[in-house]
Amino acid sequence: MRKIRCIGILTSGGDAPGMNAAIRAVTRSGICNGFKIKGIYRGYDGLINDEIKTFTTEDVSNIIQTGGTILRTARSKAFTTAAGRKRAYEVLQKESIDALVVIGGNGSLTGAKIFAEEYDFPIIGLPGTIDNDLYGTDSTIGYDTTLNTITQCVDKIRDTATSHERIFFVEVMGRDAGFLAQNSAIASGAEVAIIPEDSRGSDQLITFMERGIRKSKKSCIVIVSESPKCGAMYYANRVNKEYPEFDVRVSILGHLQRGGTPSAADRILASQVGYGAIQALIQGQRNVMVGVRNNEIVYVPFVDAISKDKPMNLELIKVLDELSI
């Protein structure tokens, strides 16, 4: 096995608050342990195009409190091809990079797994996604900040909902995972969350309308996980047709959720897993994601992190149901 002297670091996929804290942690922990660190700009595309710079501790000064990623990010079509990955490997050899740290979500770590297997190359993944949908870690970088952002937005929307006696459908990110919707609904005092993990499906809306708004409330908030088929607009249109007596509005928070100063929790998580990435390489580990479970660093094989479904605490559905009466 080739001795690791130089480590490359990149951010890939959607940005998440706390990525800069992770970049800082990997850089400084790496330098502290005698490694050379190289920052790779614009994700896998930047790797293919050799957009690489040697990092010092000064390069990551005063970034822990900033959102986004100083390395920039991209979703790379080229890296999904064998030719693109071959070019990436050639660049790594040219730059004398012996290992990679990839910060990103499911797609980014899937790419890392494929590349690592093809070229027998050491890669450590860090869970950078606001969706909190990676298996094996209690939280992902950016999730806590995004949850707080959604809660703050819903607090403001409720002022209007109450003043005008309206039903607001608020759509949040999460793709196939309802962690943001369910927990922001509890935190903001919303009346219901419509999430993919709830087996009641579209009947959630009927149950809510019959039990809640029609009997005791003139205004309410419904948090909806984004979906191309059954997002906030779908449910709002249903209410307009089935319950025309109510005034309905939709607010899609969109990319507002991704930005902002990372919370203390995200800064700490990012620092922990960034440090853990360097420790993993020192220990000879490879092709694992660094996570935190029960406040302890854990190493999760890529195949588990990206393939296994992260379980939702279904008790939270009952919590929201009972507290929203």
Q: How far is CA 244 from the centre of its chain?
A: 37
Comparing CA positions, the residue from 311, 297, 261 lying closest to residue 64 is: 261
Please count the other Cβ atoms lying within 10 Å of the Cβ belonging to residue 100.
25
Note whether 49 and 174 are within 8 A (CB): no
**What is the rounded CA–CA span in Å between residue 19 and residue 306?**
19
| Residue found under tokens 């509890």 | 186
**Which listed residue (15, 98, 131, 144) is catalytic?**
131
Q: Which phi and psi (to 5°) does residue 131 adopt? A: -75, -20
Three-state DSSP at 276 gives helix
Q: Which phi and psi (to 5°) does residue 287 adopt? A: 60, 45
In this structure, the strands spanning 192-194 and 247-252 are unpaired
Residues in contact with 79: Cβ distance below 8 Å, sequence separation at least 6, in sequence order? 44, 45, 47, 48, 85, 88, 111, 115
**What is the rounded CA–CA span in Å between residue 234 and residue 244?**
15
Comparing CA positions, the residue from 271, 293, 274, 256 lying closest to residue 65 is: 271
Residues facing residue 37 across a β-bridge = 7, 55
Phi-psi region of 254 (alpha: psi -120 to 50; beta: other; left: phi over 0): left
Three-state DSSP at 299 gives strand
159 flagged as catalytic: no
Q: Could you tell me the strand order of the sheet in which 192-194 lies?
A: 192-194, 220-225, 166-172, 247-252
So which residues are the catalytic ones?
131
